[in-house]
Amino acid sequence: MTDEPLEPGLKALIDSLLGSPAPSPVLTEVGKVTEVGAGIAVVSGLARALADELLVFASGVLGMVLDLEPDQLGVVLLGPADKLTAGEDVWRTHKVVSVPVGPGLIGRVVDATGLPRDGRDRVDAVTERPIEAAAPGILSRSAITRPLATGIKAIDAAVPVGLGQRELIIGDRQTGKTSIALDTILNQARSEVISIYCAVGQRGDAVARVIETLRRSGQLSRTIVVAAGDEETPGLSFIAPYAAMTMAEYFADQGHDVLVVFDDLTHHAQSYRELSLLLRRPPGREAFPGDIFYVHARLLERAGQFSPEAGGGSITALPVVETQAENLSAYIPTNLISITDGQIYLSPRLVRKNQFPAVDLGVSVSRVGGKAQYRAFRDVAGNLRVTLSQFEELEDFARFGTRLDDTTKARLVRGAAVRAALRQPEHDPVPAAVQLLILLAAMGGLFDAMPEARVLAAMGQLRNAGADALSDIAERIAQNQPLREEDRRAILDLASKALGRKDTGYDANI
């Protein structure tokens, strides 16, 4: 070892390091995995962990703290459980589960944690927000007065949905629930509404079909798809709706209108039941945990029409729930019916009659009602419900072979024509003015006694004829002006001319 003096620069660096204060110790809490289940893990040694905190396992899997017990934590896994082993280390992250938010998400397909599922680069996010948030208070909300056009005749006319409303879509499997929600998203091409489709527990091929439909229509560029498939861990299915709502809240805070579809909350409830039973929580009715109502209420209460002081935007929620054998009084359906502002019920009885969309107007209801409906639709809506309800009652009565008078026969013919006019192929939303044209033509008797195939062809003729001819009326509808008598007469004259009829055949007494 030589006694040569150090260079001045090196000596000064060593002196500064020796004279600087020692770095403070870094406290790292490390826990151990004591038990691994199908979607959950039990962790010990992290006594200071918080509820909903994100944990990182040594294998790279993420988890969310769901149960806090004195000597252990119940953790919901957000990744495959087969990567975990008992005795594995686990660390706290000191932050709750969050997702990226911002305009960079629009047009993307992501999972429940915000990671891309479309093969593209990471999402260009503005920031991250926790998936759990308190619902806005009363003073942060405004009345729901603006309509959300779905493009579906039966809904826009008789079960109107408003911007900021929570409208439940309910029915047995294979009755067209996803089609109703998807058509509503497709119809937003005529508006400035941003759409979010949240698939919870759906098969991968079903989600792929939805994405392909959005892509073909060009609406994917204005939609966010949050996918948590049935092949993934139940933890991702559980947090997916909250992640989608958090993404929607960012845009609502900027003053935008957002439509969020939760497809469906039946699978969401089942995933939460599975996690709760694995964590040994006490089961209640139908083995669901006691807080299942709160799980859905705290999600859907975050939707609404917000005041200018709270951003002025809106979040419209369309939750989907599946029933079994038309049992509307089951646990999860009744919970969601009581939380939401109305329901669109899709009836298997109408499906068997080949009536699509199979909206049962006798059971469907919108608790916001006409307050959020185009004024031009209000008169038509009242007559439509009365005509269909009388027709269905008479239709059941006529099956007994009873002799019918001429007025009753006329009502049966008119009701059958109106019901046929409500038919609509999926993925083909109809503009509001054309809907009025078709409905007024049916109510005016222009479809009476037509065969079913002829009614469908006639509706196509009316749609072609009204595309340009109703531009003035369409503008007044968009401005929420009432339908004047001259407008009604002009619509009926246009329909008569398009169908080659000399008169409307209108009879107000039928």
For 213-253, the pLDDT digits (tens) are: 999 999 999 999 999 988 899 999 999 999 999 999 999 99
Average pLDDT of span 443-459: 91
Q: What is the pLDDT of residue 4?
A: 65
Q: Which domain holds residue 50?
A: 30-96
Hey, which bits of 37-122 come out as E strands? 40-44, 53-57, 62-68, 73-77, 89-96, 98-101, 109-110
Average pLDDT of span 19-26: 72
Q: Are residues 274 and 382 in the same domain?
A: no
Q: Is the pLDDT of residue 16 over 90?
A: no
Q: What is the pLDDT of residue 383?
A: 84
DSSP assignment of 143-180:
---SB---S-HHHHHHS--BTT-B-EEEEETTSSHHHH
Q: Are residues 365 and 466 in the same domain?
A: no
Hey, which bits of 270-335 come out as E strands? 304-305, 314-323
Q: Looking at the domain assignment, is residue 13 inside a domain?
A: no
Q: Are residues 388 and 447 in the same domain?
A: yes
Average pLDDT of span 128-156: 96
Average pLDDT of span 145-162: 95
Q: Are residues 305 and 442 in the same domain?
A: no
Q: Are residues 76 and 113 in the same domain?
A: no
Q: Which residues are within 8 A (CB) of 391 and not within 5 positions of it... i.e. 6 or more apart? A: 411, 412, 414, 415, 416, 418, 419
Residue 447 and residue 491: Cα distance in Å, rounded? 15
Q: Is the pLDDT of residue 259 over 80?
A: yes
Q: What is the pLDDT of residue 350?
A: 94
Q: What is the pLDDT of residue 128?
A: 96
Higher pLDDT, 399 or 106: 106
Q: Looking at the domain assignment, is residue 358 inside a domain?
A: yes
Average pLDDT of span 452-480: 90
For residue 287, count other CB atoms closer than 10 A to its CB.
12
Over residues 317-367, the pLDDT tens digits come to 999 999 999 999 999 999 999 999 999 999 999 999 999 999 999 999 999
DSSP assignment of 211-245:
HHHHHHHTGGGGEEEEEE-TTS-HHHHHHHHHHHH
Beta-bridge mates of residue 262: 198, 319
Average pLDDT of span 136-142: 95
Q: Looking at the domain assignment, is residue 12 inside a domain?
A: no
Based on the residue annotation, tell me whether 367 is a catalytic residue of this protein.
yes
The percent of residues in the chain predicted with pLDDT above 90, rounded, is: 77
Helix (H, G, I), strand (E, B) or coil at 339: helix
Give me the catalytic one of 173, 349, 367, 489. Answer: 367
pTM (2 d.p.): 0.92
Give me the CATH number covering residue 285: 3.40.50.300
Average pLDDT, the chain: 92
Q: What is the pLDDT of residue 46?
A: 93
Give me the CATH number covering residue 65: 2.40.30.20
Angle at 151 between CA 498 and CA 188, to 5 degrees: 130
Residue 168 and residue 320: Cα distance in Å, rounded? 6
For residue 510, name the pLDDT band (cuts at 50, 70, 90).
Answer: low
Q: How many domains does the chain have?
A: 3
Q: Is the pLDDT of residue 509 over 60?
A: no
Report yes or no: 313 and 147 within 8 Å, Cβ to Cβ. no
Report yes or no: 125 and 140 within 8 Å, Cβ to Cβ. no
CA–centroid distance for 389 within its chain: 29
Report yes or no: 478 and 428 within 8 Å, Cβ to Cβ. no
Angle at 271 between CA 56 and CA 294, to 5 degrees: 95
Q: What is the 3-state secondary structure (H, E, C) of 386-446?
A: HHHHHHHHHHHHHCCCCCCCHHHHHHHHHHHHHHHHCCCCCCCCCCHHHHHHHHHHHHCCC
Q: Are residues 114 and 92 in the same domain?
A: no
Q: Are residues 317 and 434 in the same domain?
A: no
For residue 28, name the pLDDT band (cuts at 50, 70, 90).
Answer: confident
For residue 275, name the pLDDT band (cuts at 50, 70, 90).
Answer: very high
Q: Are residues 208 and 352 in the same domain?
A: yes
List the single range of 23-32, 83-92, 145-154, 442-451 with lowest mean pLDDT. 23-32
Residue carrying structure tokens 């062809």: 457
Higher pLDDT, 197 or 482: 197
Token digits of residue 163:
């911007």
Longest dimension (CA), the chain: 125
Q: Looking at the domain assignment, is residue 457 inside a domain?
A: yes
For residue 19, name the pLDDT band (cuts at 50, 70, 90).
Answer: confident
Q: Are residues 301 and 429 in the same domain?
A: no
Helix (H, G, I), strand (E, B) or coil at 470: coil
Q: What is the 3-state secondary structure (H, E, C) of 108-150?
A: CEECCCCCECCCCCCCCCCEEEECCCCCCCHHHECCCCCECCC
Q: Are residues 269 and 333 in the same domain?
A: yes
For residue 229, count other CB atoms closer than 10 A to its CB.
20
Give me the CATH number covering residue 419: 1.20.150.20
DSSP assignment of 443-469:
HTTTTTT--HHHHHHHHHHHHHHHHHH
Residue 158 and residue 164: Cα distance in Å, rounded? 18
For residue 195, count other CB atoms closer than 10 A to its CB.
29
Over residues 395-405, the pLDDT tens digits come to 888 877 677 88
**Beta strands at 314-323 and 168-172: parallel, antiparallel or unpaired:** parallel
Helix (H, G, I), strand (E, B) or coil at 34: strand
Q: Looking at the domain assignment, is residue 431 inside a domain?
A: yes
Q: Is the pLDDT of residue 58 over 90?
A: yes
Q: Are residues 331 and 388 in the same domain?
A: no
Q: Are residues 324 and 342 in the same domain?
A: yes
Residue of 495, 361, 355 whose CA lies nearest to 439: 495
